[in-house]
Structure 1
Amino acid sequence: MPGPDGPAVIRSTLRQQIADALRDEILAGRLVPGQEFTVKEIADQYGVSATPVREALVNLSALGLLDSVQHRGFRVHEHTLDDYRGMLQARGLIADAIFRDLATTSAHHAVPAAAFVSVRRRGEEAARAATAGDLTVLIGYDLRFWRELSALFGNAYLSDFLHRLRVQSWVCAVPHLRRETERGGDLRGRLWSRHTELVDALTRRDAAHAHAIVGEYNAHSLDLIASLAAGTAGGAAAGPSAGPSAGPSAGPSARPSAGTSAGPSA
């Protein structure tokens, strides 16, 4: 039986690296909604065996990012505007629970102001990227910002659930945002950038203000994606930006390594 550092651990690590890499390909718009691929194609792309690839694809399917297609492989899931609306609602409910806990005056639960310093730095970078319209950098810092912020709550299950929801909501929004830039649209000044204001409200333990900020964030995001999906912000109809790939050449382009990071490059 393999020891704690044996093949089982190595395979698990490789599986997670592949899952993270594929997730990043979806967030970057290089794997588009409706695009299909097989386990063999991904394994050949990464130069690994089929087993960790299959496990990674099954994990991503469980997260709602991929669909299993019988006898054909996997397909990037195509989300609807209703999906996005539901994700935002769920995110808001979880955020409210976290904010109430972070804002409590209880000595047992109170989070010191110093704990927010690192989160605020992430927020500053996210806000800077949003203002510049740099979607790739924004996604990376935004995911890290919310991951660190939710970790202050002290409940790993809740933090992980919120992270999954935020990844799913970005995956849902990315095709519309990427398509807008491909049409020559400018995202500068159109992406939410009040991360530091939210941190400041929580530092003051002002849960009501934090709730209002996130409510505005969700309304802003829904309005933007709805307008892009309807074609009112760029003149094109909604739908995937590209059809299924004709082969593995349109799939992921980088091989995962031990240094592969979770989340988009920032």
Structure 2
Amino acid sequence: MPGSGAVTRNTLRQQIADALRDEVLAGRLPPGTEFTVKQIAEQYEVSATPVREALVDLSAQGLLELLQHRGFRVRVYSADDFRGMVEARTLIVDGIFRRLAERGVAPGSGERLVSVRRRAEEARRAARGGTLEVLIGYDLRFWRELSALVGNTYISEFLHRIRVQCWVFAVPHLQRDPRLRAALWDRHGELVDAVTLNDADTVRRLVHDYNQHGLNWAAGL
């Protein structure tokens, strides 16, 4: 059927990008790791084309750097980079919740809030248990679904990208942190409660706490 090859390739491209992103976020591909298209293609036993496309996608998202004539490298972020990410994240999240406070949760969002609350509970449990890799998965889904309540996919996608970059910086440091549980923010459920009640003051306070928690942690590195 015409076009079926392209669909298959694009699906494979996304699968490879997702798999590599998970490897980076799990710390199995730490910052500074270099590799070639050929190495990744052999690892996943696929052709070079979808691998190259996946690596270019991840480069555009800020996870990888293209090395001229050498391949790709997992991007190394500094503490200053992280502080800049948190500042950007703060502005976006503040705007999201200000809009929610002004307009309220959109009609028909009840089911989505149930899903967000489930993500919040899992994220809180993972944070309190110190299970970093599990936390990252639920935390990313939590913020993505929560930000989607404003109904603007550009905002939601941009915030998701920044959050992934924040985790890329944080993971290697957190994996070495003997006080891991204390370093992980776990008030996701409180935030969902405040959004559900349209409690703008509590939302702002929790978002401030969330961002300040990250800055305080980074200041101690």
* TM class by smaller structure: over 0.9
Match of 1:188 in 2: 181
From 207, 210, 214, the counterpart of 1:217? 210
Match of 1:250 in 2: none
Q: TM-score, normalised by structure 1?
A: 0.79
Q: Distance in 1 between matches of 2:90 and 2:2?
A: 43
Q: Distance in 2 between matches of 1:215 and 1:131?
A: 20
Q: TM-score, normalised by structure 2?
A: 0.94
- How far did residue 114 of structure 1 move? 5.6
**Distance change in 2, residues 1:106/1:213 (3 Å):** closer
- How far did residue 95 of structure 1 move? 1.0
More helix by proportion, 1 or 2?
Answer: 2
Query: Higher relative contact order at CA 8 Å, sep ≥6: structure 1 or structure 2?
Result: 1
From 83, 86, 92, the counterpart of 2:84? 86
**Distance change in 2, residues 1:114/1:74 (3 Å):** closer
- How far did residue 15 of structure 1 move? 0.6
- How far did residue 91 of structure 1 move? 1.0
Match of 2:166 in 1: 169
Taking every aligned residue pair, what percent have the same amino acid on both sides?
63
Question: Do the aligned residues in 2 keep the contact of 1:98 with 1:150 (CA within 8 Å)?
Answer: yes
| Residue-by-residue CA offset, 1:118-149 (whole Å, 9 max, x unaligned) | 21111011011101111011001001101111
- How far did residue 62 of structure 1 move? 0.7
Corresponding residue SS for 1:152 = helix
- How far did residue 113 of structure 1 move? 5.4
* Unmatched tracts of structure 1, length 5 or more: 230-266
Question: Do the aligned residues in 2 keep the contact of 1:103 with 1:110 (CA within 8 Å)?
Answer: no
- How far did residue 224 of structure 1 move? 1.3
**Root mean square deviation of aligned Cα:** 1.7
Q: Distance in 1 between matches of 2:19 and 2:193?
A: 33
- How far did residue 58 of structure 1 move? 0.7
- How far did residue 3 of structure 1 move? 2.8
* Structure 2 residue 125 is matched with structure 1 residue 128: yes
Q: Distance in 2 between matches of 1:57 and 1:23?
A: 10
